[in-house]
Amino acid sequence: MKFADKILQSLRPAFSREATFKWFSAIAIGFMCGPGNAGMAGIVRALALSFASYSSVERFFRSTAFCAETLLLYWRRAVLAFAPLHRIFDGRAVLISDGTKQAHEGSHMPGVKKHSQESENSSKPSYIFGHLWGGLGIAASAGGLSLCIPLSLAIHNGLAEAFRWKGCEERAESHVMQSVRALCEASQDIDGGAVGALDAYFMSLGAVKMAKESAAALIMRAKPSYVGYEKLEEPKAGEKRGRGRPRTKGASVKLASVFEAEKELFAKESAVLYGKEETVLVHSKTLLWGKTESEREELLFVFACTGSGQIIIACTDTGMPAVEALEIYSLRFSIESAFKSLKQANKCFGARFWTKAMPKLDRYAKKGSPDSLEAVSDPKDQAKILRAIEATERYAAIGCIAAGILQMLAMKLAESGKRPAMRFVRTAHQKAPSVESVSAGFGILLGLSPDEELYGAFSKLKGLRMKPHEFDIYCLDDIA
């Protein structure tokens, strides 16, 4: 509890009032104990708070004493200060960004849209209604345990018009551009800079140009169907140029053809991919990528034959070693495990904030139809919708912080070599307790601690928790 208290106390400057920080501490601790699927009611149950506390928890998320963006900024600084970050060969950290969809059926919930379902699982529907969340995390490792600590979560689709109401054009951009912008901004706060690992979905000219303008380097998976161009050779001294328009690029190279056309250039290397060491065949090539001369950017393409098949990686840092780029990209999968933990253990996407000011969801709207938010012109209604959006993102932000603290506690245990029995696990295969086990152990520890033993941020729970005699549970013993 001491380590968790130290992190929570470092977030105090994000709140302008002590009472708001008190409720933040209580709610963050509730997330760490596992609130279940009941949303705010689950937080009240997890901490055994008084029944009257529910309305206070609800008001907290719509408070004007803090905002999610400022809170996540202080959280990012806390992670950089306390977490054992994974550093690559030149000292740079590894940032990971991706998106996830969360189903919601609310008719008056801001940001709910129809999304296609890309999962290969045939039991899932072809589309869902819900939110598209953009997540940013940072790779950390200790004691043989590698995790992605979540740094931020934000709704990335369906709210462009709402953010234009308050002049926030950056939040009106596409999911790809918002994710890359958040990654580039976070890299500026990291000593030594950072490298971003992204999926093939994020490989676009806009993302590449934004990364080139910032201090961050991007490593993305490239599709085999992409075509690159050789750099144009400089004309020799005294050589006359031929007739016609000057060439702006060299020969075209279809990426998929490199594996066969240049197979003699592939070298055997040892690489750690997805936590396992294996021997791979790897080859790198610097090419221009883009349709027109003004769009083309110079990228390093890494071609590799691994145990799971052929893969092509694109990197904006042309000086990156090929094997290092491959290993960095393999860290990207850790954000999928982080999303699973956020959804199943911390339930940070379980918020259901809505407002009648939000136009009712049209489930049969066709693609290209006008945004329903364009019809909202009353400033009061716009303010209510923006408050509901902020409340939803605050809920996710606090869940993100709680998950990150649990991950750091798990890595602390891995580093110490201890594997305490926090809950029954049929098959223990990890070097340290999982985040779910740490959450269960944390709830047990907190339940066994009386109010007078609580300290620091945990002392904020004093007077909020119900005493055993206040529960109407003893009547169960009277039933014959």
E strands, 143-231, are 145-155, 194-198, 217-221, 227-229
Nearest to 98 by CA among 147, 149, 136: 136
d(CA 161, CA 345): 33
d(C-alpha 179, C-alpha 202), whole Å: 9
Confidence (pLDDT) at 231: 84
pLDDT value for 431: 67
Encoded tokens for 235 = 């004309």
90-102 burial, b at 16+ Cβ within 10 Å, e below that, comes to eebbbbbbbbbbb
d(CA 379, CA 377): 6
CB atoms near residue 184 (< 10 Å):
20
The per-residue pLDDT for 300 is 95
Residues of the chain with pLDDT under 70: 1, 119-122, 234-242, 418-419, 428-431, 448-458, 460, 462-463, 466-480
pTM of the complete model? 0.89
pLDDT at 378: 92
pLDDT of residue 470: 59
pLDDT at 357: 93
Whether the Cβ atoms of residue 105 and residue 361 lie closer than 8 Å to each other: no
* Neighbour-count burial for 280-303, b at 16+ CB within 10 Å, e otherwise: bbbbbbebbbbeeeeebebbbbbb
Distance separating alpha carbons of residues 197 and 202, to the nearest angstrom: 10
CB half-sphere exposure, 469, CA atoms < 13 A: 0
Question: With contact defined as beta carbons under 8 Å apart, do 22 and 462 qualify?
Answer: no
CA distance 434 to 406: 9
Report the pLDDT value the prediction gives residue 64, as an integer from 0 to 100. Answer: 86
pLDDT of residue 35: 72
**3-state secondary structure (DSSP) of residue 429:** coil
Helix axis angle for 435-448 and 334-344, nearest 10°, is: 40
Instruction: Report helix, strand or coil for 155.
Output: strand
Q: Give the separation between CA 158 and CA 132, rounded to whole angstroms.
A: 8
- Say what the pLDDT of residue 424 is: 73
Give pLDDT, residue 145. 83
Residue type at position 383: A
